[in-house]
Amino acid sequence: MKRPKFYPMDLVRVRTPGRHEKLGSRPPGTLIMGKTATVEIAGLINGAASAEGDTMTPAYYIRIDNLSPILIEEHWLEAV
């Protein structure tokens, strides 16, 4: 089982995808891409099965400015 890379109170940035990058099934909204956020809750969610057969993937509730918490997958976040 994969462990979360970030922890509560960590500062992260929502990644902006590359020009030819496929966004996948649940991309974050374009209004939050490139913004800095604070991790509120780190955990695992049930996602698609990986090559190892594991279905749990790291995900986070993040807070940006005065917006309500946003659920986002780990691959959309980078350390600040």
What is the pLDDT at residue 54? Answer: 72
What is the pLDDT at residue 19? Answer: 86
Write the CB contacts of 13 (distance below 8 Å, at least 6 apart in sequence): 34, 35, 36, 37, 77, 78, 79, 80
pLDDT tens digits for 30-71?
899 999 999 999 999 887 666 667 788 899 999 999 999 999
What is the pLDDT at residue 48? Answer: 65
pLDDT band at 22 (very low <50, low <70, confident <90, very high): confident
What's this model's pTM, rounded to 2 decimal places? 0.83
